[in-house]
Amino acid sequence: MRNLDALKYGLLTLLFVALTLAAEKPNVIVIMADDMGYGDVSAYGADTFRTPYIDQLASEGQMFTSGYCSASTCTPTRYSFLTGTYAFRRPNTGIAPPNSPAVVKPGTETIASILSTVGYKSAVIGKWHLGLGGPEGPDWNGELKPGPREIGFDYNFLLPTTNDRVPQVYVENNRVLNLDPNDPLWVGNEKPSPDHPTGITHRDTLKMDWSHGHNSTIHNGISRIGFYTGGHAARFRDEDLADEWVKQSNNWIEENKDGPFFLFFASHDLHVPRIPHERFQGVTSLGYRADSIVQLDWCVGELMKTLDRLGIAEETLVIFCSDNGPVMDDGYEDLALENLGKHRAAGPYTGGKYSIYEGGTRTPFITRWKGKIKPGVSDEMVSTIDLVASLAALTGAKISDDAALDSYNLIDVLLGKSGAEGRDHLVQQDNGRGNNYGLRVGKWKLQRHDSKTARNVVVETKLANTKVNQYRLYDLSKDPEEKNDLYKKRPKIAKRLTVQLAEIIDSGRSR
């Protein structure tokens, strides 16, 4: 009996050693663009400007033609990317307001906390927009807890909300950077005083005019959503954001070059207000929106140069994606629509930000790992929501049964392995409040409009709500623009997908 027990113990030990050796622990950098469409990268068809560094990633790795984020707005996509759970399963995952408390609560397993169990150091640098602080919201003059460090990150350097929302300050770890206690920061939803300057009362002073909604507190000649006062020493200049993200990221990579590390580089480009650095203003003929794409491409190049300089490019998996599809007029008069020309930001697809049409969630999606990923183009379906389970599988990390409820292990697909299969279905959502859904299964796409309206149907026009039937069905192989509704013409498929979508939503999980 003792010999049998010893044999079992030895086999288990060998199995553990084998699994440990099989797990790989590359550095991981996820570069998430903001409001970038499928057609906004020259590797994906843009021909009025070039994105050479993103194109280089595509030529050296896997370029996915069916790469998705999970929602067509930023907060829900970022939530599902970090947690591996569809945002519609959790309350309060719509677009976070300036004073939003932390959307991801302490104790939630995230991509950062899961990787930390197998020795990773992690950082998020850039746009956060997932709230800060407890139920009462952020204490801007004190400790901003909980935040990224309470859900697994070792370091953060943040734009706390999104730059069309106040305040325009950096948050390093749990505090506003460079905040003068004699000039406290106040953030609110109403004017702090009758004479507080706004985009309405002082419109003639603006260097970028607003078109709708972005007409409260003015900073740097641009009016924003929400009100704030004070914190003047802590305020940044819009034009410097990209440079700061690159500087802080390169410093952190240098400090953690011995790895393994996980960096979430959360760019603010191409989100409004689009104010690229002066050296990028006018580099394209399409205005500040396209100039911001070129600026983002530069950021990608700077990060890749750092990997090469440190000799760790072959030890680093780089993933490029976007948080949602494109939008032209999103609150500011920046001539993005007027200068569009022949450029199609969503490529061959209809819709964009805020919509469940393909243009809302199908975006550029690229993976590169020199020496590991064979260059190529993949039609397999992948999503940012799958990075939790995929990176856990790659590194040997464990995920609890009640975590990452909708994240699938697609690591073989992401690494371009022959014969690997992607998702067989994907749920798309709009703003995280559960109003409208899309379900893609193979070539079929079901739309479910619980709000009975479709948002931003054509990205080249201004935002508009269009009346639609609750259910619509499309054959994407023949109709990528989702123009020919087949819901009544293909009743068996329509019924099957209608039931499947309802079951996924109601079940509470799909993993």
Is there a single domain that holds both residue 461 and residue 440? yes
- Asked if the structure places residue 226 within a domain, the reply is no
Contact 439, 432 (CB under 8 A): no
Is 468 found in the same domain as 409?
A: no
Query: Quick one: how far is CA 435 from the chain centroid?
Result: 20
Q: Which amino acid is at 255?
A: E
Q: Report d(CA 413, CA 394) in Å as an integer.
A: 12
Dihedral pair phi/psi, residue 350, rounded to 5°: -90, 150
Q: Are residues 336 and 455 in the same domain?
A: no
DSSP-derived 3-state class of residue 157: strand
Closest by CA to 264, choosing from 391, 112, 114, 58, is: 112
CATH code (residue 349): 3.40.720.10
Domain-embedded: residue 310: yes
Q: What is the CATH number of the domain that holds 502?
A: 3.30.1120.10
Do 94 and 242 fall into the same domain?
A: yes
Residue with tokens 């639609």: 468
Does residue 1 lie within any of the structural domains? no
* DSSP for 468-490, written as a single string: --SEEEEETTT-TT--S--TTTS
Q: How many CB atoms lie within 10 A of CB 468?
A: 16
Give the pLDDT of residue 4: 52
Q: Which residues of 402-435 are buried (b: 16+ CB within 10 A; e: fewer)?
A: ebbbbbbbbbbbbbbeeeeebbebbbbbbbbbbb
Contact (Cβ atoms closer than 8 angstroms) between residue 40 and residue 58: no
In three-state secondary structure terms, 421 is: coil
Both 470 and 334 in a single domain? no
pLDDT at 18: 41
Cα distances (angstroms) measured from residue 465 to each of 201, 405, 447, 458? 29, 31, 15, 10
Residues 104 and 169 occupy one common structural domain: yes
pLDDT at residue 453 in the model? 63
Q: Which helix (H) or strand (E) holds 441?
A: strand 436-441
Q: Which residue has the tokens 């930000």?
A: 353
Are 365 and 497 within one domain?
no
State the Cα–Cα distance between residues 53 and 57, nearest whole angstrom.
6
Last residue of a domain, one of 382, 414, 446: 414
Residue 305 forms part of a structural domain = yes
The model scores a pTM over 0.85: yes
Per-residue pLDDT at 387: 98
Q: CB–CB of 214/164 below 8 Å? A: yes
Together in a domain, 448 and 400: no
Judgement on whether residues 352 and 449 belong to the same structural domain of the protein: no
The last residue of a domain, from among 414, 447, 464: 414
Using the 3D structure, point to which of 372, 387, 414 is the last residue of a domain: 414
Q: Quick check: is 273 in a domain? A: yes
Q: Are residues 436 and 339 in the same domain?
A: no
Q: Are residues 410 and 434 in the same domain?
A: no
Number of domains forming the structure of the chain: 2
Edge-to-edge strand ranges of the sheet holding 426-429: 426-429, 436-441, 444-449, 471-475
Phi and psi dihedrals of 34, rounded to 5? Answer: -125, 115
* Predicted local confidence at residue 15, as pLDDT: 45
| Residue 41 burial (C-beta neighbours within 10 Å; 0-12, 13-18, 19+) | buried
**Residue 39 in domain:** yes
Tell the residue number behind the tokens 């069309």, with chain if given. Answer: 164
Cβ atoms of residues 61 and 375 within 8 Å: yes
pLDDT tens string for the chain (511 positions)? 445 555 554 554 444 434 443 579 999 999 999 999 999 999 999 999 999 999 999 999 999 999 999 999 999 999 999 999 999 999 778 889 999 999 999 999 999 999 999 999 999 999 999 999 999 999 999 999 999 999 999 999 999 999 999 999 999 999 999 999 999 999 999 999 999 999 999 999 999 999 999 999 999 999 999 999 999 999 999 999 999 999 999 999 999 999 999 999 999 999 999 999 999 999 999 999 999 999 999 999 999 999 999 999 999 999 999 999 999 999 999 999 999 999 999 999 999 999 999 999 999 999 999 999 999 999 999 999 999 999 999 999 999 999 999 999 999 999 999 999 999 999 999 875 557 999 999 999 999 998 766 654 444 445 566 778 899 999 999 999 999 999 999 999 999 999 999 999 999 999 9
Within a domain: residue 195? no
- HSE-CB at 55 with a 13 A cutoff on CA atoms is 15
Neighbours of 203 (CB within 10 A): 13
For residue 489, give its domain range. Answer: 426-507
**Is 213 a member of any domain?**
no
Cα separation, 157 vs 311, whole angstroms: 25
- What distance in Å separates the CA atoms of residue 471 and residue 306, rounded to the nearest whole number? 48
